[in-house]
Chain A
Amino acid sequence: MIYLDSAATTLQKPPAVSRAAARAVSTCANPGRSGHRPALRAAEIVYDCREEAAAFFGIERPERVVFTQNATHSLNLAIKSLLHGGGHAVISGYEHNSVVRPLEALAERGVTYTTAVSPLFDPAAVCRAVEAALRPDTRCVILNHVSNVFGFILPLEQIDDLCAEKGLPLIVDASQSAGVLPLDVRTLRAAAFVCMPGHKALYGPQGTGILLCCQDKNLYSLIEGGTGSLSLETRQPDFLPDMLESGTLNVPGIAGLREGIRFVAREREAICRREARLLRRAAEGLSQLPELEVYCSDSCQSGVLSFRSRRIDPSDLCQMLAGRGVCLRGGLHCAPLAHRSGGTLPEGTARLSVSAFTTPAEVEKFLQILKELLKSA
């Protein structure tokens, strides 16, 4: 099998990840609820992971690292924290449904949004479009750091500068960038929240996500309940991380995520270089197949590459590849906005995405299988 669907989730993880998760299943109790050894062990693992994530992303206070179920959960917390009282948001033309759908759901509370549409692989156009979309009642800007469809690296620093100048908080969707591209919140002036999954380029198990809170005011909890703190109070604690972490945490997932973060903290630069090389080779190989349209950029692309056949629907193509043991994703990738921006509606694209564990030989084999498939189809 050749796995090239790491933008959905990384399948191959460092071996320490599954070992840690399995160990936690049998040795960890409920953190923060009791004073016995298994509960304390769980609490230590959770705190270590919080502290290591804080160090990796440049968050000064570990309590501002909130554990969530996935990036969608993190984005819902961030968006509803900034917009639950109403207002207008500006989003890039490359946002995922995990941004668009919460905004649509907030319409009944008076929330509106403008999509800053801009052409593919043109960072300057993103800046111009976002600035043009700002209104006097704009409450925040939401930016996908890297498009999950095209791997387009959006101009985070420039949008952050723009937001800082305008006094607007920025929500960053780092689903495809966290663990690969440099991401230090100390370098961002306007970022209020950074949202990410734990199970993609941080190599944790599925069911893990992180919300980095660069502020601790205007927070909005999606669920309320037991936190192990202020138990006499019937109201939800108003401090981090307890306010946003009700109920028993996913300790086995967090134990695995801690190992994943340790791995990327050691290897991030090498991973970034390796993925860039693999992507360049894939783009080069795909571009030699005349019936394919390949969406690539030398200067602003990371980890993800989309392509389309002029004859075969992308979902069908990916299904054919799956039958030959090659795992890609076809279709809209839950991001119709990105396809509108890239001009790839309504069929979408075939998408390949790499990880630290993808090998050059796998990319070559994929290219060979695809070439044969297109010849025979």
Chain B
Amino acid sequence: MYCVILFRSLTDVQRAAALLRRSGLSAEPLRLPTALARGSCAQGIRLRESYLAAAMERLEKSAVRITGVYDVLPDGRYREVLW
């Protein structure tokens, strides 16, 4: 199972991905599907659901602003996760 973390800018996505990689948490930048992008060109990162708690803790410490967290459901739809 995977989840997606959304950010407000590409630079934030890249910073988050770099921070998580350095913490041993593999995270892949991806361009957001229309359902999540809300008309923006912005991207998010995709990571294993099992990494989510550690990833959120790391990102909150570094003050990268997160704009949303979503589970990727088996049928490909997204479900917002309250964090």
Give chain A's interface residues, CB within 8 Å of chain B.
31-35, 40, 43-44, 47, 50-51, 61-63, 227-232, 237, 239-242
Contacts A34-B41, A47-B15, A51-B15 aside, 20 further interface pairs with beta carbons under 8 A come to: A31-B10, A32-B10, A35-B30, A40-B29, A47-B10, A47-B18, A50-B11, A62-B14, A63-B11, A63-B12, A228-B41, A229-B40, A230-B40, A231-B39, A231-B42, A232-B40, A237-B9, A239-B65, A240-B11, A242-B9
**Is there contact, CB below 8 Å, between B31 and A35?**
yes
**Is there contact, CB below 8 Å, between B14 and A229?**
no
Residues of A within 8 A of B18 (CB): 47, 51
Distance in angstroms between the alpha carbons of A66 and B39 in the assembled complex? 25
B49 to chain A, nearest CB (A): 22
Distance in angstroms between the alpha carbons of A43 and B29 in the assembled complex? 11
How many A-B contacts at CB < 8 Å in the complex?
Answer: 65
Residues of B within 8 A of A40 (CB): 29
Instruction: Take A35-B30, A35-B31 as given contacts and tell me if A47 and B42 are in contact as well, using a CB distance cutoff of 8 Å.
Output: no
Which residues of B from 8 to 66 have beta carbons under 8 Å from A?
8-12, 14-15, 18, 29-31, 38-43, 63, 65
**Is there contact, CB below 8 Å, between A229 and B15?**
no
Instruction: Take A34-B31, A40-B29 as given contacts and tell me if A231 and B11 are in contact as well, using a CB distance cutoff of 8 Å.
Output: no
Distance in angstroms between the alpha carbons of A311 and B43 in the assembled complex? 64
Residues of B within 8 A of A51 (CB): 15, 18
From B62, which residue of chain A is reached at the shortest CB distance? A61
Instruction: Take A35-B31, A35-B43 as given contacts and tell me if A61 and B15 are in contact as well, using a CB distance cutoff of 8 Å.
Output: yes
Instruction: Take A34-B31, A40-B29 as given contacts and tell me if A231 and B41 are in contact as well, using a CB distance cutoff of 8 Å.
Output: yes
A251 to chain B, nearest CB (A): 13
**Is there contact, CB below 8 Å, between B8 and A232?**
no
**Is there contact, CB below 8 Å, between B40 and A43?**
no
Distance in angstroms between the alpha carbons of A45 and B41 in the assembled complex? 18
Among A47, A62, A228, A229, the most chain B Cβ lie within 10 Å of the Cβ of A229
A125 to chain B, nearest CB (A): 41
From B9, which residue of chain A is reached at the shortest CB distance? A229
B6 to chain A, nearest CB (A): 11
B13 to chain A, nearest CB (A): 9
**Is there contact, CB below 8 Å, between A63 and B15?**
yes
A332 to chain B, nearest CB (A): 39
Closest 3 CB pairs of A and B: A35-B31, A232-B39, A32-B10
Distance in angstroms between the alpha carbons of A368 and B10 in the assembled complex? 54
B36 to chain A, nearest CB (A): 13
A293 to chain B, nearest CB (A): 49
Distance in angstroms between the alpha carbons of A33 and B42 in the assembled complex? 8
B11 to chain A, nearest CB (A): 5
**Is there contact, CB below 8 Å, between A33 and B41?**
yes
**Residue of B15, B42, B43 touching A230 (CB-CB under 8 A):** B42
Residues of B within 8 A of A240 (CB): 11
B70 to chain A, nearest CB (A): 17
**Is there contact, CB below 8 Å, between A62 and B38?**
no
**Is there contact, CB below 8 Å, between B40 and A63?**
no
Distance in angstroms between the alpha carbons of A33 and B43 in the assembled complex? 9
Distance in angstroms between the alpha carbons of A50 and B14 in the assembled complex? 10
Residues of A within 8 A of B12 (CB): 63
